[in-house]
Amino acid sequence: MAHLFVCQGRDEIPRWREAFPQARLVNPQQARAWAGRGDRIWVMSNLEGWPALVSTLSGRGATLMVLSYAPNSLEAFQALNAGARGYAHALSPAELLRQVEVVTTNQGIWVWPELLAQVVGGTFKALGGESRLQEEILAVLTGRERAVALAVAEGQSNKAVARRLDITERTVKAHLGAVFRKLGVRDRMQLILRLSHQDASVADSG
């Protein structure tokens, strides 16, 4: 599991060297040649064509972190889009760099704090239309039916749903029956599959 720092020429980053003394400095060509699955690779955003490099190496299964001398939200988004898991200031203290390391090795995302709000907000566009389908599905249901359907979709039993909505189990069954009829599903399992990911076909176990 290599630990690489990709930069142009002899772009020394003392803080980085202090944080990871065992890692090695390489140029983009060497990175493309050596990097593979599980490697941890830091890329400077002042490199020519860094997004393509990040995209390539993350596609191989390496973990990518981008360092910038002038962090900004556009670049942060570029980095994340290319598959980077971390985006920080190039002159961050060693301790912070190690923190980024910890986060990304644990499947997390680390973004320069000042940009975090903007990056999260920027995802709004990408997310907006997603759950429209689910809302469309639930639109044909009455309020009570919807509440029951959502609870069941969480894996709750009829009894648990009854407790949550403060009604009898019998009433839950009544609403659920209406839900099944309106959504055209046989049972609660297919309801879960329908609401979990709407694009999945449902089994016919005739």
Partner DNA sequence: TTGAGTATTGGACCGATGGACAGGTAGCAA
Partner DNA sequence: TTGCTACCTGTCCATCGGTCCAATACTCAA
Give me the residues that bind DNA (CB under 7 A), please. 142-145, 157-159, 165, 167-168, 170-171, 173-177, 180, 186-189
190 binds a second copy (CB under 8 A): yes
> Distance between CA atoms of 176 and 191, rounded to whole angstroms?
10
In angstroms, give the least distance from the CB of 141 to a second copy. Answer: 16
* Residue placing its CB nearer to DNA in the complex, 89 or 188: 188
Residues linked to residue 78 through DSSP beta bridges, in sequence order: none
1 binds a second copy (CB under 8 A): no
Total residues interacting with a second copy, rule: CB under 8 A: 78
* Residue placing its CB nearer to DNA in the complex, 32 or 144: 144
Do 20 and 4 contact (CB within 8 A), yes or no?
no
* Residue placing its CB nearer to a second copy in the complex, 131 or 142: 131
In angstroms, give the least distance from the CB of 80 to a second copy. Answer: 4
In angstroms, give the least distance from the CB of 189 to a second copy. Answer: 4
Nearest to 43 by CA among 15, 95, 85: 85
Site string for a second copy, 107-146 (x = CB under 8 A): xxxxx-x--x-xxxxxxx-xxxxxx--x------------
Kindly state the tokens that stand for 66. 């981008």
Member of 156, 165, 173, 180 binding a second copy (CB under 8 A): 156
9 binds a second copy (CB under 8 A): yes
Backbone angles phi, psi at 71, to 5 degrees: -60, 135
Three-state helix/strand/coil letters over 114-180:
HHHHHHHHHHHHHHHCCCHHHHHHHHCCCHHHHHHHHHHHCCCCHHHHHHHHCCCHHHHHHHHHHHH
